[in-house]
Chain A
Amino acid sequence: DTAVSQTPKYLVTQMGNDKSIKCEQNLGHDTMYWYKQDSKKFLKIMFSYNNKELIINETVPNRFSPKSPDKAHLNLHINSLELGDSAVYFCASSQEGLQGASNYGYTFGSGTRLTVV
């Protein structure tokens, strides 16, 4: 069983389109994240949700809108896609969250490679 799964794995679309990327985790984690990895491999956090509540919203254009229907899912919707949105988007989850303390790192999905043409 895949712990954190993202769909689709590849997405090629034209400028101006609207697209969604889905993420699901079966680890029972409380917190989920979206990261963007650009062409230089730099990883930058975009959003974080804890139990369906938005807790981190970095400086991201409002064309990007995360949605968390339940704590096992965090989807990313992107409106009016631009060339600069081309990147690999990683979903991740972790057990701690606002409760802080205990430890640990994230479990990552395998990524969605978005290409805007």
Chain B
Amino acid sequence: AQSVAQPEDQVNVAEGNPLTVKCTYSVSGNPYLFWYVQYPNRGLQFLLKYITGDNLVKGSYGFEAEFNKSQTSFHLKKPSALVSDSALYFCAVRDRRDDKIIFGKGTRLHILP
């Protein structure tokens, strides 16, 4: 069965600094990988995905993520954080043979002005 781990409950970053939100996954086959963001009292919004091809994936709002097969990781990154990036971030994985997406427990990102 697939699983996702987000080892950090919270990440604090000063505005303007680079940020990284960590994610590792476990699937039996090749994965589809996703990042979603949830703002307070809102639904989840799609940020980016890895399906195949280039390991560096670029998404919305200047975010990017790097697929690392050997480390089974898909860390979310941004070169320069904004206060408006403060939100709850979910990593998710789907085994290509399965029809459901499994979410990590979420990482709360605080960008400090």
Contact = CB atoms under 8 A, between A and B. Distances in A.
- Note whether A and B form a binding pair: yes
Query: Is chain B's interface secondary structure helix, strand, loop, or mixed overall?
Result: strand
A106 B105 CA distance: 17
Given A90-B43, A90-B44, A100-B96, A41 B106 contact: yes
B38 to A, nearest CB: 8
B43 A103 contact: no
Contact of A56 (B38, B100, B105): B100
Contacts of B105: 40-42
Interface stretch (A66-74, A79-87, A107-115): A107-115
B36 A105 contact: yes
A33 B43 CA distance: 14
Nearest to A99: B99
Interface of A: 4, 31, 33, 35, 40-45, 48, 50, 55-56, 90, 92, 96-98, 100-101, 103-111
24 contacts: A31-B99, A41-B106, A42-B105, A43-B106, A44-B103, A45-B101, A48-B99, A48-B100, A56-B99, A56-B100, A90-B43, A92-B44, A100-B97, A101-B96, A103-B51, A104-B32, A104-B51, A105-B49, A105-B101, A106-B46, A107-B46, A108-B36, A110-B42, A111-B42
